[in-house]
């Protein structure tokens, strides 16, 4: 069997595993991708060979690189190519690739992003100030954090974070939609 044929044979179990991990039905996936339920089923059972036209919408729906679906071999370049994007006037750089579970971002907040707009959503967030000074409005609290300081909070509490207006702030954000808080170990285990 050629390496390409072997890689294509592994696409079906990868697709099944991804759908099971995400808890998505074939019907829901068909609606999102525009691929018929029967075609999706045949892809997952290996009865249909995957094509680029089928794999691209699946990669987009699962929010994974196409390489992950086909099991592309690692390349020699170890650099990670992060793709920054603009979100609400901030530069957001994703540091994790999985949409489920713990998510990490580096966020650069411009100094002009200093008007509080509190919001709520499910989850738990942990913020670490890398540089600059960050203003955090959390419920009735209005705090300013500097480099090296950390805040952790339940995101169902109205919250907002941004710049103090003095300079941009760089922040490391860890977020979990399931609501897990961080666990800090203060002593080493024997």
Flag whether pLDDT at 189 surpasses 70: no
Domains and CATH numbers, the chain: 3-70 (1.10.260.40), 85-176 (2.60.120.10)
Q: Is the pLDDT of residue 78 over 80?
A: no
Greater confidence (70 vs 107) lies with: 107
Q: Count other C-beta atoms under 10 Å from residue 54's C-beta.
A: 20
Mean pLDDT, residues 110-135 taken together:
90
Task: Report which secondary-structure segment, H or E, holds 62.
Answer: helix 52-62
- Taking each helix axis from N to C end, the angle separating 11-22 and 52-62, rounded to the nearest 10 degrees, works out to 30
CA–CA separation, 59 vs 67, rounded Å? 9
The mean pLDDT of 10-22, rounded to a whole number, is 89
Stated pTM of the model: 0.54
Tokens of 170: 């760089």
Q: Give the DSSP H/E element, type plus range, for residue 106.
A: strand 102-109
Q: Is the pLDDT of residue 88 over 60?
A: yes
Distances (CA, A) of 119 to 71, 126, 139, 165: 39, 16, 10, 20
How do residues 135-186 score in pLDDT, each as one tens digit? Answer: 999 999 999 999 999 999 999 999 999 989 888 999 999 988 765 555 555 5
Lowest-confidence segment of 22-31, 77-86, 160-169 by average pLDDT: 77-86
Q: In which element (H, E) is residue 150 found?
A: strand 150-154
Q: To which residue do tokens 């089923």 refer? A: 41
Percent of the chain scored above 70 by pLDDT? 85
């Amino acid at each position: 069997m050629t390496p390409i044929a072997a890689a294509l044979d592994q696409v079906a179990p990868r697709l099944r595993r991804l759908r099971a991990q995400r808890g998505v039905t074939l019907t829901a996936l068909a609606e999102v991708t525009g691929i018929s339920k029967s075609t999706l089923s045949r892809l997952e059972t290996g009865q249909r060979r995957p094509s680029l036209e089928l794999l691209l919408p699946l990669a987009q729906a699962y929010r994974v690189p196409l390489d992950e679906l086909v099991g592309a071999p690692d390349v020699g370049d170890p650099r990670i190519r992060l793709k920054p994007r603009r979100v609400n006037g901030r530069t957001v750089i994703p540091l994790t690739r999985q949409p489920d579970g713990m998510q990490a971002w580096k966020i650069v907040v411009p100094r002009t992003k200093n008007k509080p707009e509190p919001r709520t959503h499910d989850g738990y967030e942990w913020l670490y100030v890398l540089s600059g000074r960050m203003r955090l409005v959390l419920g009735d609290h209005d705090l300013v954090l500097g480099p090296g300081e950390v805040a952790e909070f339940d995101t169902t509490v109205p919250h907002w974070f941004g710049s103090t207006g003095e300079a941009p702030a760089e922040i490391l954000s860890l977020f979990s939609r399931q609501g897990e808080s961080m666990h800090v170990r203060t002593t080493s285990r024997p």
